[in-house]
Amino acid sequence: MQTELIQDAPSAIYRAGRLRVKPSNFCWAYTLDLVSGVIFPALLGVGLAAICVAIVENVDGAAEWVQKNVYAEQVVSTLGTMLVFLISLRLGSNLAKNSSTVGHFGNLCGVCVNLAIWSRSLVNSDNVSVMLYPAPKGKTYRSTEIGLILASIPYVVKYTYRGEPVMLEMLPIAGSPTLLLRAQSLVDQGVVPFLVMVILLGQIFDQLEADGKIKPPELGLFYNQLNLLTGEEGSIGGIDGYSPPGVLNFLMYLLFFIYFTLLCLGDLALNNSWQSLWIVGVLVIGNLGLFQLSQRYSNPFDVSPSRSTQKPIITDAARGTEIAIDAIFGAARANADGLKALGGPPPPGIPGPTQPISFSLGMRR
């Protein structure tokens, strides 16, 4: 089926947006990080210290009452040790979550490219037709329905775990109105977008096997790769979905408050007076500030070049996967796959048909 080419088609406009490398705004990103990890925690510490110093210096007998009835050096020491342990544990957990998620997403993108490479051999054998799809500035690009689905999968995963709605009309799959309607129909039935992509892929390959265009062993290879794909997405979902019980976060913040309140009232306010403001501010930055920063970067899907100082690995990987898949299906072979896409004789400079080139079916993750 020939796709009608529209110069200003929405899919072409969205394609330009996806493939454009967004400029980094390091000034704004560092400002947000400093506010989250330095300025806001420091202000909390300074405010708490100021209240404690004001109480000790302006309320008669407050210092003696605190020393006699509230302050206990052993308790403060124990709480300080416990907070160091908790902060180290949560800091490592958040950074490990970031690293593991990036690794699984990279594997997922690799599986998509592997499937595209194998599917390219079906194009060479005339079992899958290459189509022309609209690109920006009135241009076109070559791909297949399989390629459009595979290129869409990283974006679907990205937006799903960023917590944003997946707009199918903004993804590569929108290049084919037929595919888009089928996908939207499944979404309307309550199927999550990632499983919609998997279902569409399965339907296409089942049809190829039913038509005798691929053999059952080849279909088995496809489903092995599909298992890897769903496995990586499941791993990402497991990492992203896990969170410690809310009461643990509540207790940790409560310990923060108790520790710094006792430290200020029973020690710093008495011995350092108003100097305790900057002392507590620095201490809070080294504890709560680092924890806040690790929380901010625990989910790499939230990283954006305009508001984060970490490299947007997820966005770059999704864009790179689409470019790679476009290149796999876009190279005009000197055989019939170019004829079917263009619906006519080969363009000038391209020789006549030659022996199709087959890709190895042994694929690496």
Choice among 108-122, 251-265, 343-357 with the minimum mean pLDDT: 343-357
Residue 3 in any domain: the answer is no
pLDDT at 332: 58
Report how many domains make up the chain.
1
Position 8 confidence tier, pLDDT thresholds 50, 70, 90: low
Could you tell me the pLDDT band of residue 337, with boundaries at 50, 70 and 90?
very low
- Please check the confidence at residue 333 and state whether its pLDDT lies above 70: no
271-310 residue pLDDT tens: 888 888 888 889 888 888 888 888 888 899 988 877 888 8
What pTM does this model have? 0.80
**pLDDT of amino acid 124:** 67
Q: What is the pLDDT of residue 155?
A: 96
Indicate the average pLDDT of the chain. 82
Report yes or no on 356 lying in a domain: no
Task: Please indicate, yes or no, if residue 266 is contained in any of the structural domains.
Answer: yes
pLDDT surpassing 80 at residue 44: yes
Residues 150 and 324 sit within 8 Å (Cβ to Cβ): no
At 356 the pLDDT is 33
What is the pLDDT, as a whole number, of residue 334? 44
The predicted pLDDT at position 234 comes to: 93
Q: In which band, very low, low, confident or very high, does the pLDDT at 350 lie, cut at 50, 70 and 90?
A: very low
CB contact at 8 A, 83 and 259? yes
Kindly report which listed range (17-21, 201-205, 345-349) carries the lowest average pLDDT score: 345-349
Q: Is residue 346 situated within a structural domain?
A: no
- Asked if pLDDT for residue 32 goes beyond 80, the answer is yes
> Between 171 and 273, where is the model more confident?
171
192 or 217, greater pLDDT: 192
Per-residue pLDDT, 68? 81
Per-residue pLDDT of 141-164, as tens digits, reads 888 899 999 999 999 999 999 999
Residue 175, domain member (yes or no): yes
**CA atoms in the 13 A half-sphere facing the CB of 160:** 20
Mean pLDDT across the stretch 88-105?
91
Percent of the chain with pLDDT over 90: 30
Section 9-35 average pLDDT: 85
Residue range(s) defining the domain that contains residue 158: 10-341
Structural domain includes residue 99:
yes
Instruction: Flag whether 365 is in a domain.
Output: no
* 351 lies in some domain: no
Higher pLDDT, 3 or 97: 97
- 316: pLDDT strictly greater than 80: yes
Mind spelling out the 3-state secondary structure of the chain? CCCCCCCCCHHHHHHHHHHCCCCCCHHHHHHHHHHHHHHHHHHHHHHHHHHHHHHHHHCCCHHHHHHHHCCCHHHHHHHHHHHHHHHHHHHHHHHHHHHHHHHHHHHHHHHHHHHHHHHHHHHHCCCCCCEEEECHHHCEEEECHHHHHHHHHHHHHHHHHHCCCCCHHHCHHHHCHHHHHHHHHHHHCCCCHHHHHHHHHHHHHHHHHHCCCCCHHHHHHHHHHHHHHHHHHHHHHHHHHCCCCHHHHHHHHHHHHHHHHHHHHHHHHHHHHHHHHHHHHHHHHHHHHHHHHHHHCCCHHHCCCCCCCCCCHHHHHHHHHHHHHHHHHHCCCCCHHHHHHHCCCCCCCCCCCCCCCCCCCCCCC
pLDDT at 1: 39
Q: In this model, does residue 90 exceed pLDDT 70?
A: yes
Structure tokens at 205: 């390959």
- CA dist 320 → 18, 20, 25, 299, 326 (Å): 10, 11, 21, 20, 10
Q: What pLDDT is stored for residue 157 in this prediction?
A: 96
